């Protein structure tokens, strides 16, 4: 899975925001603000990535156990799916 084209990260007033550009901006009505972990996962999802790859990377980057990482990643992915941001 990966982020659909037409969505980019921008830093606005020290907040990380997802911004729709081009054709994607016509169908996306909202703002998504990401915390540090969300930004980390978003960057990984710029290329085709599996949940296992995300989990391994999150464990390596943060002081988190596998079960917590998997739960948080699945929640993040569901949020992205709900906003129709995954290809």
User: What's the burial of 63, exposed, middle or buried (CB within 10 Å: 0-12/13-18/19+)?
Assistant: exposed
Q: What is the pLDDT, as a whole number, of residue 36?
A: 93
Spatial neighbors of 84 by CB under 8 A, at least 6 apart, are 4, 28
pTM greater than the 0.85 cutoff:
yes
Q: What is the pLDDT, as a whole number, of residue 26?
A: 83
Low-confidence ranges of the chain (pLDDT < 70): none
Q: What is the pLDDT, as a whole number, of residue 22?
A: 87
8 Å CB contact between 77 and 58: no
- Distance between CA 60 and CA 44 in Å, rounded? 13
Question: Tens of pLDDT along 4-29?
Answer: 999 989 998 989 999 888 888 888 87
């Amino acid at each position: 899975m990966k982020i659909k084209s037409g969505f980019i990260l921008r830093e606005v007033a020290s907040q990380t925001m997802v911004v729709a550009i081009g054709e994607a901006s016509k169908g996306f009505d909202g703002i998504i603000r990401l915390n540090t972990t969300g930004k980390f996962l978003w960057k990984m999802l710029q290329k085709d990535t599996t949940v296992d790859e995300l989990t391994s990377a999150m464990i390596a980057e943060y002081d988190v156990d596998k079960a917590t990482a998997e739960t948080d990643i699945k929640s993040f992915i569901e949020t992205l799916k709900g906003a129709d941001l995954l290809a």
